[in-house]
């Protein structure tokens, strides 16, 4: 039961609600489960509720890991090293 997607907080509303945006699509969801939320934060949304904030540094870190792998491949293949 995991379908959850990252969404960006655009507006903070009353009653622990927020307007969020992903790829141009907006919806009002509950942020009652999140502490210290700011506009511009990204949260993971599940069944109309924000469950957790996304840590942008960690996100970049993960992507960097992926990219490094790609770089290594390219370097190896550039040097004619067959994996």
Site residues for another protein per CB under 8 A:
1-6, 8, 21-28, 30, 32-35, 42, 44, 46-49, 51-56, 58-59, 61-63, 65-67, 69-70, 73, 83
DSSP string, 7-45: EEEEEEETTTEEEEEETTEEEEEE-TT-SS--TT-EEEE
Least Å from the CB of residue 68 to another protein: 9
Residues 6+ apart with CB under 8 A from 16: 30, 31, 32
- Which lies closer to another protein via its Cβ, residue 22 or residue 39? 22
**Closest approach of Cβ 20 to another protein, in Å?**
10
């Amino acid at each position: 039961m995991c379908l959850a997607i990252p969404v960006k907080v655009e507006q903070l509303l009353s009653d622990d609600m927020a307007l969020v945006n992903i790829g141009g699509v907006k919806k009002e969801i509950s942020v009652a489960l999140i502490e210290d939320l700011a506009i511009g934060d990204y949260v993971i949304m599940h069944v109309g509720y924000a469950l957790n904030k996304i840590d942008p540094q960690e996100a970049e870190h993960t992507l960097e890991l992926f990219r490094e792998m790609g770089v290594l491949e390219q370097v190896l293949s550039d040097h004619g090293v067959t994996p």
